[in-house]
Amino acid sequence: MAEHLDLAAWVMGELDAVEARRFEAHLLGCERCHRDAAELEGLPQLLERAAPPFEVPPELEARVLGALVDGERPLRPRRRLSLRFGAAIGASLAAAAAALAIAVLGGGEDPGAQRFALRSTRGEAVDVAATVRVIPVGREVRLDIRRLRDPRPDGLYELWFVAPGDTRRRPDRVSAGTFHPDAAGRGTVRLLAAADPTRFPDLSVTLEPADGNPRRTGPEVLRP
């Protein structure tokens, strides 16, 4: 278990120079720690986008670390750990990283996200909620579809980021990808596009033929 705690501290940069060299020597001969290190490689970057850190009360830290050793030798004191680091050394490091990634990248509350309902331009009964977030690699859209006609097999929906001056004759838009609901008209879809929010502030969904043509040829069917 001690190796796992040293692994978490090493990943998070909590070890001093001597401790880091000692653990890196161990890492060369430990297949399990080498595998766990690879799984946790991106954890510090994810935590940078998580909630701001705050100090864990000393008595809580002692209880958590005591539970982690699970009857083995007492854990020697380290410098005080922030909540970010405490989360990283849960009972399963890989599971903690996966849960954090879900919270940061798609499922958690984000005060900077834009949330709105999409409505039908044809007067159809639809229930589609869109959440748009600006992330380092572009803009991510999550569509929560509760009621939407399945256009298959002949058609599919395409989501676009659109500039204010966009027209059919002079298009000015970026595709975020195609999608369709399940057979019951429901589903959750995540799409991503490298679209500048200042140039392409608007959303639009068109109904396109399933013919492999990447250009917009179909009508707009959903918009905020």
pTM above threshold 0.75: no
119/218 same-domain check: yes
Which residue bears the tokens 């007067």? 123
101/154 same-domain check: no
Q: For residue 105, give the DSSP letter.
A: I
Q: Among 187, 191, 184, which residue's Cα sits nearest to residue 205? A: 191
* Separation CA 17–CA 127 (nearest Å): 56
Does 213 have pLDDT greater than 60? yes
20/64 same-domain check: yes
CATH of the domain at 165: 2.60.40
CATH of the domain at 80: 1.10.10.1320
Give 117-174 pLDDT, tens digit per residue: 999 999 999 999 999 999 888 899 999 999 999 999 999 999 999 999 999 899 999 9
How many CB atoms are located within 10 Å of the residue 123 CB? 7
What pLDDT score does 102 carry?
A: 44
